[in-house]
A and B are shown apart, each in its own frame.
Chain A
């Protein structure tokens, strides 16, 4: 063990022996990256199938605090990119991971985050095959930023995209809304709220596989991240040229999340998830899809929340508990807690 430091210093980004030690003892040993060249060389049988398509995505991750109930920035970085591939119908295969680390970051923290990434990658069946490390001076980054890119393969004949949604299709969400956003707010500690909230952070590849195993006719899916269900549905309504009608009484919401939103004046429709998706399916597939989702832990709260309609194309409306109707708009900027 050549790495004796307890904290990351600028030397660990300097390109010399210290950097080599950090990479070998923290990253390479955990990720078991193949080969010793600067680029990963990879092959999968799925690529050889005529008509197969590559899917490619990238995402940057910043979160405060880095560790929170239900996950950490490493869990997020793997799940987020895996989910971006999976909701497009791709089987995720390979990830890259790039770390920008602020001088002074604890190496033990880095190891914990890397360990989380390994666990999530194994669960999702992906390999982290290449990466990069940079160290920046104190104050130039907020402890750690992680960027992952991912490659997956879409099998021949599979086509999941928002423009396939038709009026009459049913919208299903796989879990309760806003758990990640609420858990992060609580974990920041500046609200003095004590809760048992956990982030829903999870890979969704297996959930989508389970659905596709019972019906090939999934129209489209999106994972709910920043901006929550409202933003995902507005994007999908716009892309499909359909209207979407939600029913407030059907929205799955934990009491704790609902209560926190009441106190702070936030709308759970806009709170982030990190392991929950919304999927549109033809109405006759509803029961089969719900059953398939509920057979998995990450889909155990799956339920129907609304449907696509021919009216008001591009717009999302919600029938309130009260029987009124209101527009569910895109979020403007960020949600800001209210005065009173």
Chain B
């Protein structure tokens, strides 16, 4: 396939792997003192396991899986609020497929749908907008989920709804931003990280400069990367080269997609529609200042939290619903432990009967370990 297979070329990968080994030798890292590179994005985590990069790369390099899976970082209270919205008889609740199976305190959206809630999978918020036009007697609520990658399309749907004067369309906004949780991880003195691989599709929107603080204030290298296996290997090589040369910079491996300053149309739509919440709760990380987005006052009529008085819109902070007992999603998501170190992994928590979001979402680290066999030993031969 054009524009995909070229980036899956084993010969190219072999060259990158040997260059990586060269830089590791220069740094003098060992398996006892490995170099820890956090790939922030869940899409990267899945590519790493799908292509077995964790086994192919030099054993003194370890990938640490970051908090960049939008479904995984959603706290249980927000899932519960989504279910409560979906259960309102007048509501058609529209969601991306990923979020359907994520367990809430009482039930998942899939279980709510089975019990009679009108929950529909859409591929874009514009599909939800079309539903709202076709069903004027129903309330169409779109589950706004994701980082800066999906945030602009939600903004455009709100602008369009405002232009058309639709009164039965609203957003349950859970959009969040990437840089703030990275700062939290870097401020955590227990965390040792040597460098970062930055999410390419987020930077397609925001550019590379929002990461400047990582290099400037924390002296860590970060390389914005694409999602094919050679993209990731090249990004790892670029991080290692910076470490070997004593540099800490923001570099762009994914220049075929990522412009330095991002996408101005998307950024303008986001600036028009959203403002930052004072703080937003993340699973595993707690409340993080200025890490979540909500609709600005002029678009308040499209804010489902205001319209239906749920969540932050109900005035008070949402009640904090504890995670399922024994669930270590938070520790896995912040890279403190590998999925297999969770006592519930593969026992109390499997994709059939998930305890936590990381086992369900297509970008969750636990799901990656489970599906691609990182969890289960692969005998030689």
Contact = CB atoms under 8 A, between A and B. Distances in A.
Interface of A: 190-191, 255, 258-259, 262, 264-265, 311-312, 317, 320-327, 329, 332-333, 336-340
Nearest to A261: B1
Given A262-B4, A336-B97, A327 B376 contact: yes
Given A322-B52, A340-B146, A329 B371 contact: yes
A89 B366 CA distance: 41
A312 B379 contact: yes
B100 A336 contact: yes
8 contacts: A258-B4, A320-B51, A324-B51, A327-B376, A333-B351, A338-B363, A339-B146, A339-B149
Contacts of A333: 101, 351-352
Given A322-B51, A322-B56, A340-B150, A191 B123 contact: yes
B50 A325 contact: no
A233 to B, nearest CB: 15
B122 to A, nearest CB: 8
B248 interface: no
B372 interface: yes
Contacts of B96: 337-339
B294 to A, nearest CB: 19
B371 A336 contact: no
A265 B70 CA distance: 15
B53 interface: yes
A325 B373 contact: yes
Contact of B8 (A311, A312, A322, A332): A322
Nearest to B143: A339
A318 to B, nearest CB: 10
B121 interface: yes
Contacts of B56: 322-324
Contacts of A323: 10, 52, 56
Contacts of B50: 320, 326
Most buried by A among B100, B229, B373: B373
B127 A190 contact: yes
Contacts of A324: 51-53, 55-56
Nearest to B371: A329
Nearest to B363: A338
Contacts, number: 93
Q: Considering residues A312, A321, A324, A340, which has the most beta carbons from chain B within 10 angstroms of its beta carbon?
A: A340
Contacts of B52: 320, 322-326
Given A333-B101, A337-B123, A339-B98, A327 B372 contact: yes
B201 A340 contact: yes
Interface string B335-357: 00000000000000001100000
B71 interface: yes
A260 to B, nearest CB: 11
A31 to B, nearest CB: 37
Q: Give the dominant DSSP class at B's interface.
A: loop
A325 B371 CA distance: 12
Given A324-B55, A338-B96, 11 more contacts: A311-B379, A322-B56, A327-B371, A332-B351, A332-B352, A336-B97, A336-B100, A336-B101, A336-B362, A339-B96, A339-B98
Contact of B97 (A191, A329, A337): A337
Contacts of B10: 321-323
Of all A-B residue pairs in the complex, the 8 with the closest CB atoms, nearest first, are A324-B52, A336-B97, A327-B373, A332-B351, A340-B149, A326-B372, A337-B97, A339-B96
B141 interface: no
B276 to A, nearest CB: 21
Interface string B46-59: 00011111011000
Contacts of B370: 329
Interface in B21-55: 43, 49-53, 55
Nearest to A327: B373
Contacts of B116: none
B121 A337 contact: yes
A265 B55 CA distance: 23
B93 to A, nearest CB: 15
A3 to B, nearest CB: 34
A192 to B, nearest CB: 8
A324 B49 CA distance: 9
Nearest to B51: A322
B366 to A, nearest CB: 12
Contacts of B53: 322, 324
Interface in B114-147: 121-123, 127, 145-147
A336 B146 contact: no
Contacts of B49: 326
Given A321-B10, A325-B52, A265 B1 contact: no
Interface in B64-101: 70-71, 96-101
Contacts of B121: 336-337
B165 interface: no
B310 to A, nearest CB: 21
Contacts of B315: none
Nearest to A337: B97
Nearest to B370: A329
A280 B254 CA distance: 43
Interface in B291-341: none
Contact of A338 (B13, B97, B379): B97
B373 A317 contact: yes
B378 interface: yes
Given A338-B362, A339-B70, A340-B201, A322 B13 contact: yes
A259 B5 CA distance: 11
Q: Which of A322, A323, A325 gathers most chain B CB within 10 Å?
A: A322
